[in-house]
A and B are shown apart, each in its own frame.
Chain A
Amino acid sequence: MKESRREFLKKSTCALSMTALATQMHHMGMMSALAQKMDEKEQPAQGGDSYKAIVLLYMSGGNDGNNMVIPVHNDASVSNYAAYAATRQTQGLAIPQASLLPISVPRIGGLTYGLHPALGPVTGGINNGIHELWAQQKLAMVTNVGTLVAPMTKAQYQNNSVPKPYQLFSHSDQVAQSQTSVSSTQAFTGWGGRIADRMNQPNNPNGLIPMITSIAGAQLFTAGQTTLPMAIADANTSLANVLNPAGFNTTAASVARRNAMNQLRTIDLDNNYLAAASHVTDLAMEANNALQTFQEVTVPFPNTGIGRQLRQIARLIKKRTDLNVNRQVFYCQIGGFDTHNNQLNNHTTLLSQFSQAARAFYDEMVVQGVSNDVTLFTLSDFNRTMNPAGSGATVGSDHAWGNHMFVLGGSVAGGDFFGMNTTNGTPFPTLVIGTAGPDDTNSGSGARGRWIPTTSVEQYCATIARWFGLPENELGSVFPNIGTFPQNNLGFMI
């Protein structure tokens, strides 16, 4: 054990300087735990030669999936446009049928659904948006996804015979559950972090930066038990500057000061807060050394928050070989989806920003020749109530549950809906509120149209993690409740 730990430390820190080693050693427990895990495995998980990256694009605030994808067809055997309009038109929240961008859905007999018009070409846009990638089979949708402890029917929801996710409809808790994948109890770590805990060492043994990068600050998704993410600014800052301490030069005094600063992080580590602060700074200083040169991307990206974040991610992917990374997890975020009011304009703006940026990112991956190796997917806090909040110009919607997610990339089985069937025999929920609505949580007067998810966040994310290379026998340790659901592969990744 002792022997192998030393060996492991040597391996895992070969990219790190001695200063980083000291705080790493302070976190020795975590290192040893991993070393032990490695010892126990006869065959460590192998990533192979190829590169793969997954990009979580988080829509913060609760994206109104009910207005992102809408039935266009008039087939009355499943919820059609009229069913949608029946709830949303009067108060002014309905998107006109003619303006929807048609998508064909083989899973539902080839019926036509429609994407929000902001997901196609838009005024002032720099590309055609993501809509046309549906027909090219690069874009798929996983429908009625949400936080779940176990599969749940409306009756079970109402008679409490199946445990519910804690604090449904609360932002912070539902964000946490989406990002940890755990809805039964509060979790310390995110599922991205847990993937990195298990996959970084076997796949990126000589990686010069952490496996996970967030362009949107520290997030629960990125927190591992043992791994920390790299968090950097968006593309407004060049990679060479994102982590560069200013004010140093090559004079002897400056070099002495820099050495002292590095040395200070290796002492007085008895206080755990102090050690944690030093450890984060170490990571930053090491990554900085690796980021001093980079090449700009080819495709134009929109100059929006999400555009700049995805552009920064594209720069890092372009530099993957230099950074010695074979597997990467990225986190980016677009906020403002908590549209309790003024939804129509705001949601249009947000969706077009998302679509323009995601399309630019996909096109850049094609240019880089890695579009089959990089998958972008969305998550959000929750869907919004089918029943609008308010009416007229300021109409909005409230917090709900089961929602629709996009998956985008060359390895996506695009052009279709995925996920478990709802009570209507399709993966798309019945858009009926209250007692007559089989997918609504509530009956009677309190009903607002909150769909009970039929596909759990864990099933959705496990499908992506499996494609990414998480070994089958590790699925249960990253997604602890996955065994309670009938499928752990929804089939949308090729």
Chain B
Amino acid sequence: MKRPASGRSSSVSIAAAVIIGLLASINIIGQVDPNPNSPVPVLLSQEGSTRALAEYSDEGKGSKNSPFAETAFPLNAKVDLYVTNIELMEGEGANAFRVYLEDTQKRQYRVPVLDLQPSEHQKGVYRVTILLRDELGFWEQPAADGDVLVRLTWRGLSSNRVRLGLGKTGGDIKDDPGSQPTPLSRAASFMTGTEPPTSEYVGYRWSGDRMRFLQQATFGANRSLDDRIRRIGLRTYLAEQFEAPYPSLSNLYPNIPLKHIDSNNSTLGCGMFTDGTAERRICFRDHYTQYPLQNWFFKEALYGEPQLRHRVAWALGQIWVVSGVDTQQSSWMIAYHKILSQHAFGNYRDLMRDMTLNPAMGNYLDMVRSTKNNPNENYPREILQLFSVGLFMLNQDGTLMLDGNNQPIPTYDQSTVDNFTKVMTGWTFCNVGCPNSAPSIVNYKDPMILNQNNHDITAKTLLAYPNAVNQNIPAGLNGNTELELALDNIFYHPNVGPFVSKLLIQHMVTSDPTPAYVGRVAAVFNNNGFGVRGDLKAVVKAILLDPEARGDVKTDPNFGKLREPVQLVTNVLKAFDAKSANLTQQSDGVINGLTNPLGQNVFYSPTVFNYFPPDYTIPGTALIGPEFGIMTTGTAIGRLNFANTMVYNRINGGTENVPQGTSLDLTEIEAIAAADPTGNLLLDELNKRLLHYTMSPQMRATILPAVTAVASSNPRARAQAAIYLVATSSQFQVQR
């Protein structure tokens, strides 16, 4: 990097100081963002060929006199490969790397990475020890009958691919087009490294990463968000978002009163309105369905300032699932959502308590009906399995801990569930004496309260783990005390950090994060740097600023995630400035009809297991892809039809349930289409807005003829064709 000219530097510093000063006045400190791009790893090859520089890792095998003499290795061999152009953080090691083999039949295998050490051969070169054995278990072991191509990935970036002889050399495998030898002798020339940080204040200039960050942290990028981050950078944006009031002042939570369980009740239901009238329908719609909450949710997603809290609450709500399928009134669900959003940047332990005592959850998973004589194990089982520790013991990096027979170790058994069930007996609605208590309604707003008479006071044995907190609860305690003890027993289990961290990474960044990424975030969950466990603000920050998340482009073939329907819809709507149907005001947010056919009926998850399971494996692959759980032939076409609806049509307003409607505003994009008859400017704009500058030349060449097939005199139709094609492309459907 050249040093900036001193005069400019100082003026920029002054400008920066002014901005920092302004921000400090609202308790936010401007923070410098480093270059987000990690260097691209280079796997070394032999001189003059693309064959891997490789040798046996085990002592005694291979010739020490002529290193790298072997060119083929049997299955199960421990082999050293050599990689350069990586810059490791403190503590970053083997579990940050993945090594894939591909055979002539294009089957992909992943082999364990056992070790990573600086090489004795040359500074900046690292030795990667792999075990030549597939660890995914999807295919049988690769055949040892010739060359395979080897790829190493790190932080979402793929190395070049080199050949490795499996059993023997030769065979039909073809090098990647344009691949070149990458010999040790030239290792120094491959080391590009990252740019050193500069003191120059130039804003956050990594335009690809800005858009990627917004895909992960918000409900979609648009120009104003992009401009803001370009000016203030990611860290300052995060600091702002952590402080932003929620929900937006212009979109407060719907204020819906509790109603009678019987919607026909003449005073506290909707029975005061004549059957068949609009008043009756609207009363029912607003109180006895999630309609008002759904619309509020989408308006906040489209227009709200506190995007990050909204996004994290949405993710948490897909872990701590309560569904409108069993939750009768919107007021009940709103009380539940307030807990999600309140603790999204709070402490996980507080979330655990408030969720456990939330009446909608109590109803959904039956804890409100669980008494010592009629215990119900539904909630106790799910809080363990789905919300905190999961079924099997985890290492801090989220990988399964294995016993001596290489089997996973159950975190708990049925007797643990039985014991937690006893702990959680005796809770009920606070129908008298709480702020929202009222005659003839069930109080679904205030936390549940204990009826000690219905509480099982026998002794309990809870989760066992090293240095377990409160594993044994003595007989005779008050249920309130026991609940806190039991929640601490769960909260301090070592699984919680990796379990929760991985789920949140999957919801925000990538479906199959490396163990190293999970481990870094879990470390922050375990200790935010100030000795606090469970600080979600620190966790969210760690997820979004991790080098595996950051960078302008990701080339690891297994990096990314399918956009869930909610993100697909809001991302497109925000990218094209969605407004009301007549473009005069904001959308009314009545757009659940767009996501529902794609498998996401917002606040109506079909089961407690969410719309899709976190460990869903895509058929025909060994690839974890949770969102593919709802990607079927039917919803795949639904995704095309969503684009058709919004690009070529709109959701019309003026009806009882859809007052304003929703439409994209294509004014700007139409002007861009009109300005360039070749269509290239139009594609440049879509490349930026939807693909963070990753549109391949082939993709452009494929779309352009369909754009120019529309008369240039109709720039709107040209813009529509281009938007439809990009928005429906798999290149966009997958967030990378």
Residues of A within 8 A of B (CB): 2, 5, 26-30, 32-33, 60, 166-173, 188-189, 193, 214, 217-218, 223-233, 242-247, 252-253, 256-257, 259-261, 263-265, 267-268, 270-281, 283-285, 287-288, 335, 340-341, 388-391, 394, 398-399, 446
Contacts and interface: CB of A to CB of B under 8 A. Distances in A.
16 contacts: A29-B106, A168-B414, A188-B138, A218-B629, A218-B630, A218-B631, A225-B619, A231-B633, A246-B641, A264-B730, A274-B730, A276-B562, A276-B625, A283-B636, A335-B606, A389-B374
Interface stretch (B113-121, B485-493, B538-546, B695-703): B695-703
A337 B511 CA distance: 31
B298 interface: no
Interface of B: 103, 105-108, 138-139, 172, 366, 369, 374-378, 381, 385, 391, 410, 414, 417-418, 511, 557-562, 599, 606-609, 613, 617-623, 625, 628-637, 640-641, 644-645, 648, 696, 698-699, 702-703, 705-706, 709-710, 717, 721, 724-725, 728-731, 733-734, 736
Among B381, B702, B710, the one with the most A-chain Cβ atoms within 10 Å of its Cβ is B702
B699 A341 contact: no
Contact of A268 (B414, B418, B635, B698): B698
- Give the top 3 A-B pairs by smallest Cβ distance, nearest first: A231-B632, A29-B107, A256-B709
Contacts of A257: 706, 709, 721, 724-725
Contact of A389 (B376, B608, B717): B376
B614 to A, nearest CB: 11
A32 B107 CA distance: 9
A142 to B, nearest CB: 26
B702 A264 contact: yes
Contacts of B734: 271, 273-274, 277
A26 B618 CA distance: 14
A372 to B, nearest CB: 30
A225 B620 contact: yes
A264 B414 contact: no
A429 B617 CA distance: 37
Contacts of B511: 273
B108 A271 contact: no
A394 B369 contact: yes
A264 B633 contact: no
Contacts of A232: 633-634
B702 A193 contact: no
B463 to A, nearest CB: 15
B630 A268 contact: no
A244 B622 CA distance: 29
A397 B498 CA distance: 34
B561 to A, nearest CB: 7
A63 to B, nearest CB: 15
A272 B632 contact: no
Contacts of A30: 620
Most buried by B among A60, A281, A288: A281
A244 B620 CA distance: 24
Q: Chain B CB within 10 Å — which of A169, A280, A394 has the most? A: A280
A265 B698 CA distance: 11
A268 B699 contact: yes
A257 B702 CA distance: 10
A399 B107 contact: no
Contacts of B378: 340, 398
A28 B696 contact: no
B626 to A, nearest CB: 11
A367 to B, nearest CB: 27
Nearest to B702: A263
A270 B553 CA distance: 14
A217 B105 contact: no
Contact of B634 (A2, A233, A263): A233
Contacts of B366: 340-341
Contact of A231 (B634, B645, B724): B634
B108 A29 contact: yes
Contacts of A2: 172
Contacts of A225: 138, 619-620
Contacts of B139: 29, 33
Nearest to B559: A271
Contact of B644 (A168, A245, A277): A245
Contacts of B560: 271, 273-274
B730 A278 contact: yes
A391 B369 contact: no
Contacts of A229: 632-633
B440 to A, nearest CB: 17
Contacts of B599: 217
A260 B641 contact: no
Given A2-B172, A193-B619, A257-B725, 17 more contacts: A27-B106, A166-B391, A231-B635, A233-B634, A243-B634, A245-B641, A247-B648, A261-B729, A270-B557, A272-B558, A276-B562, A277-B631, A284-B636, A287-B633, A340-B369, A391-B374, A398-B377
